[in-house]
């Protein structure tokens, strides 16, 4: 079976969740994360469309078109899943009740600036709830592939319009796990089969490495 980079990233992101965390997931790759949470997990997944504490994406056999997340992926319900007005859902976000948000990105830079809503000169739907989330969530995790057609996505400075300034805490890619620190970017894990030089060559921003960085395994 071909290596699925997005599932690899989502699986590693799921490991960042702690029991009882209230977590918001952005559209795209982050929506895969619930599928890698342990059975019986107490992590509460929130969608700004007004669904709270839902399960992983529904299989074809389990689809109920009344139940979907903010990215219109059909989801499964858990005992305790609840529904609310989107205004109440955003009150959870703006009130500081979200422990972590997981977002995709077009660009991230060494200061933790995030650009994920607009490519100049292209029609884009808008930033949705991302501005609220990066401002109010306690932890911001970026989940993305490390490069786009071989071109870096982690820069010394973002060139696209920003979603948030110095808001990113952690970057999880198919090549590495990178913490955003006051001193810059610190790679704490490297995907198996890759070297430090591989990661450096795929990253425009300067990178430091932890002593004995862990290996991101495919299992």
Kindly tell me if the per-residue pLDDT of 1 is higher than 80: no
> What pLDDT score was predicted for residue 218?
84
CATH of the domain at 63: 3.40.1080.10
Q: How far apart are CA 45 and CA 101, in angstroms?
A: 10
pLDDT band at 122 (very low <50, low <70, confident <90, very high): confident
> 190 lies in which domain range?
5-216
Instruction: Give the mean pLDDT of 26-30.
Output: 92
**Whether residue 120 has pLDDT greater than 90:** no
Question: pLDDT-derived band of residue 66, with 50, 70 and 90 as boundaries?
Answer: very high
Q: Which residues are catalytic?
A: 48
118 pLDDT higher than 70: yes
Counted domains in the chain: 1
d(CA 182, CA 156): 14
Q: What are phi and psi of 131, to 5 degrees?
A: -65, -45
3-state secondary structure of 78: strand
Task: Render the burial of 177-187: b for 16+ CB within 10 Å, e for the rest.
Answer: bbbbeeebbeb
What is the pLDDT confidence band of residue 84, given thresholds at 50, 70 and 90?
very high
Residue 5 has pLDDT above 80, yes or no: yes
pLDDT tens for each residue of 131-173: 999 999 999 999 999 999 999 999 999 999 999 999 999 999 9
Which phi and psi angles does 59 have, rounded to 5°? -75, 165
Q: What is the mean pLDDT of residues 84-88?
A: 94
On whether the pTM is more than 0.85, the answer is: yes
Query: Rounded distance, CA 205 to CA 174, Å?
Result: 17
pLDDT at residue 47 is higher than 90? yes
Coil, strand or helix at 165:
coil
pLDDT in the model for residue 139? 98
In the predicted model, is pLDDT for residue 27 greater than 80?
yes
pLDDT of residue 123: 63
Tens of pLDDT along 87-108? 999 999 999 999 999 999 999 9
Tokens linked to 161: 């319009």
What pLDDT, in 10s, does the model give residues 164-202? 999 999 999 999 999 999 999 999 999 999 999 999 999
């Amino acid at each position: 079976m071909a290596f699925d980079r997005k599932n690899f990233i989502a699986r590693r992101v799921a490991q960042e969740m702690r029991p009882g965390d209230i977590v918001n997931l952005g559209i795209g790759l982050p929506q895969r994360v619930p599928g890698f949470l342990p059975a019986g997990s107490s992590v509460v997944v929130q969608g700004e469309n007004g669904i709270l504490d839902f399960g992983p994406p529904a299989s074809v056999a389990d689809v109920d078109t009344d139940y979907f997340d903010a990215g219109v992926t059909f989801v499964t319900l858990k005992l305790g899943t609840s529904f609310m007005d989107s205004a109440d859902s955003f009150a959870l976000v703006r009130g500081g009740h979200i422990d972590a948000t997981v977002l995709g990105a077009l660009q991230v830079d060494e200061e933790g600036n995030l650009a994920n809503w607009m490519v100049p000169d292209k029609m884009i739907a808008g930033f949705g709830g991302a501005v609220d989330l990066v401002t109010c969530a306690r932890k911001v995790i970026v989940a993305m592939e490390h490069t786009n057609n071989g071109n870096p996505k982690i820069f010394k400075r973002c060139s696209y319009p920003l979603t948030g300034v110095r808001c990113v805490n952690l970057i999880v890619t198919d090549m590495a796990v990178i913490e955003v620190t006051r001193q810059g970017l610190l790679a704490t894990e490297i995907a198996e089969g890759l070297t430090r030089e591989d990661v450096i060559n795929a990253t425009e921003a300067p990178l430091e490495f932890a002593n004995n960085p862990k290996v991101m395994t495919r299992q």
